[in-house]
Amino acid sequence: MVTFSISPADFDYIRDFVKRRSAIVLDDGKEYLVESRLLQVARKRSLTSLEELMSKLRSGMDKSLLESVVDAMTTNETSWFRDLHPFQVLKERILPEMCNGSNPKKELNIWSAACSSGQEPYTIAMIIKDYFPMREGWDVKILGCDLSAEMISRARAGLYSKLEINRGLPAMLMVKYFQQDGRNARIKDDIMKMVTFRQMNLVEQWPFLPKMDVIFLRNVMIYFTPQVKKEILRKARAVLKPGGYLFLGAAETTINLDDSFEVLRLNKTTCYRVRT
């Protein structure tokens, strides 16, 4: 039998703490994952044991430790053009629709609501730059948010390893929009400037956000309870412009959570729009 050095009491404490802070649910059986991530945090802070980390955590004195532990429990898996089809629909259907004469203000707001290390909002920026070189006067804003301070700082830096670049980025776009930086590749300024990043917790009160034409809220609600998903969808609905589109991850849906959304099958992807 596999045994863990994290005690059941510590595991319960961590999952309670992480759920309260981020809504992320750590199921039974995740002891190994929790332990290995806690050990990473301990190592970075030169703490000598799990016990030392747990006792500092319980004291609640070190705010940055609290944040690091929640941060360490997030799963930041992402890639360029992840799942491909949502981005094809964005390029072939949604952007042309939004950039025709029906948008007299010439404004476009797109939100990547759990953007991890930035691949999703930068993918959107490259599509817009490539296929919709906006005419004079267009105001395009792409916002990338994430709970993880570490991910937001990585996204802002726009620096990616070879391994990360190889996950879904077409060679043509690599050549066009990245420059070599040591053994890594850095996204060029013209794409970087199109995206603003901010740390944000989806389960806390949302800050003021502009009305969004498109929201990418992908592969984050899978970690939440149905009640939390409902609340987030309600808030996303309030932020979407009339006629705006919502994309969720392939394993996520609004069905049985929020009937105000209609489900649209476009090409090979599903997206959602608030019913009129």
Ligand X SMILES: C[S@@+](CC[C@H](N)C(=O)[O-])C[C@H]1O[C@@H](n2cnc3c(N)ncnc32)[C@H](O)[C@@H]1O
For binding to ligand X (CB under 6 A), which residues are involved?
22-24, 74-78, 82, 114-116, 120, 146-148, 151, 201-203, 218-220, 249
Q: What is the closest distance, in whole angstroms, from the C-beta atom of residue 199 to ligand X in the complex? A: 8
Q: What values do phi and psi take at 267, rounded to 5?
A: 50, -120
Give every CB contact of residue 147 below 8 A, 6+ residues apart in sequence.
22, 70, 71, 74, 114, 199, 200, 201, 202
Q: What is the closest distance, in whole angstroms, from the C-beta atom of residue 77 to ligand X in the complex? A: 4
Q: What is the closest distance, in whole angstroms, from the C-beta atom of residue 217 to ligand X in the complex? A: 8
Q: What is the closest distance, in whole angstroms, from the C-beta atom of residue 102 to ligand X in the complex? A: 28
Pick 65 or 147: Cβ nearer ligand X: 147
Pick 116 or 254: Cβ nearer ligand X: 116
Q: What is the closest distance, in whole angstroms, from the C-beta atom of residue 200 to ligand X in the complex? A: 6
Pick 4 or 250: Cβ nearer ligand X: 250
E-state strands within the chain: 107-112, 139-146, 159-160, 178-181, 184-187, 195-199, 212-217, 240-248, 261-266, 269-274
Q: What is the closest distance, in whole angstroms, from the C-beta atom of residue 258 to ligand X in the complex? A: 18
Taking the C-alpha atoms of residue 241 and residue 229, their distance in angstroms, rounded to an integer, is 20
CA distance readout (Å), 218 to 93, 174, 194? 19, 24, 20
Residue 206 tokens read as 């949302």
Pick 121 or 244: Cβ nearer ligand X: 121
DSSP string for residues in 65-115: HHHHHHHHHS-----TTTTSHHHHHIIIIIHHHHTSTT-TT-EEEEEETT-
Pick 174 or 250: Cβ nearer ligand X: 250
Pick 80 or 178: Cβ nearer ligand X: 80
Q: What's the length of the chain? A: 276
